Amino acid sequence: MEENIRKSHNIIVEDRKKFTLTGVKDVLSFDENAIMLETALGKLSVKGEELKLGQFDTQKGDVSGSGKIYALVYTTDDVGGGFFSRLFK
């Protein structure tokens, strides 16, 4: 299934009310305040209010949704960068 998902990743936001994403591998979690996605370029968090997922085409990796969009944030899985993690190695 994942072989058809685009290697590129695009975001289209319309009036901060609708969004369309390409290159999405998986929807990790979602509720009305946040949606966490795994994309071709890493994890992406969509933050806002009254967020709703529309269509998710698992073959192509396209996702659409709506709501009051406040932020789109990429996150990393880097572990060990903090003070306490270095202290307790």
Structural domain boundaries enclosing 63: 2-87
pLDDT in tens, 7-66: 788 999 999 999 999 999 999 999 999 999 999 888 999 999 999 999 999 899 999 999
Taking the C-alpha atoms of residue 6 and residue 3, their distance in angstroms, rounded to an integer, is: 8
Q: Please state the rounded mean pLDDT for residues 69-79.
A: 81
Name residue 71's beta-bridge partners.
Answer: 47
Better pLDDT: 88 or 66: 66
pTM for the structure as a whole: 0.77
pLDDT value, residue 7: 75
pLDDT value, residue 1: 45
Residue 52 sits in a domain whose CATH number is 2.60.40.2000
Domain count along the chain: 1
